[in-house]
């Protein structure tokens, strides 16, 4: 299933404070020497470097699953960043939005899925094509 992107504006209104455990959380065995100090984490400051050019989009589809972008994930996208070979970008091509890895070759630009079931999309000179922004972060739910 090819993905569709739903674009939403970031809520720049009321701040919500979330507690933050300053200690590292090991994925192996816990260290009894760690403190349990907490502080406030500002997700806007952590995830958004350019608020005026940043937007979010929810992914539907599975064309990027091999790089960790799954159906339902929320992408944080910065329109001010310059796309490069290998960038993961939200693109507008021929009337549709899509998220793909950009591949710049001698013979042209390709939008490459990260799922072997899908073929790369060659951007032709006739294509109505625009890079809307570069994916900077992925927010995903792991609750079951």
Q: How many CA atoms lie within 13 A of 8 on its CB side?
A: 9
Residue 85 has which token pair? 């070979």
Buried b (16+ CB within 10 A) or exposed e, 9-47: eeeeeeeeeeeeeeeeeeeeeeeeeeeeeeeeeeeeeee
Structure tokens at 72: 């339902």
Q: Which two tokens stand for residue 95?
A: 């009337």
Q: Give, for 44, the enclosing helix (H) or strand (E).
A: helix 43-47
Name the residues annotated as catalytic: 63, 100
Q: What are phi and psi of 123, to 5 degrees?
A: -85, 110
């Amino acid at each position: 299933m090819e993905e569709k992107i739903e674009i939403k504006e970031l809520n720049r209104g009321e701040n919500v404070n979330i507690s933050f455990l300053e200690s590292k959380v090991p994925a192996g065995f816990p260290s009894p020497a760690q403190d349990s100090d907490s502080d406030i984490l500002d997700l806007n400051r952590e995830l958004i470097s350019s608020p005026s050019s940043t937007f979010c989009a929810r992914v539907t589809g599975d064309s990027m699953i091999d790089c960790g972008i799954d159906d339902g994930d929320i992408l944080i996208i910065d329109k001010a960043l310059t796309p490069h070979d290998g960038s993961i970008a939200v693109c507008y091509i021929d009337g549709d939005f899509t998220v793909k890895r950009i591949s710049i070759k001698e013979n042209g630009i390709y939008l490459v899925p990260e799922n072997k079931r899908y073929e790369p999309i060659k951007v032709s000179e006739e294509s109505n094509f625009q890079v809307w922004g570069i994916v900077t972060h992925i927010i995903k739910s792991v609750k079951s």
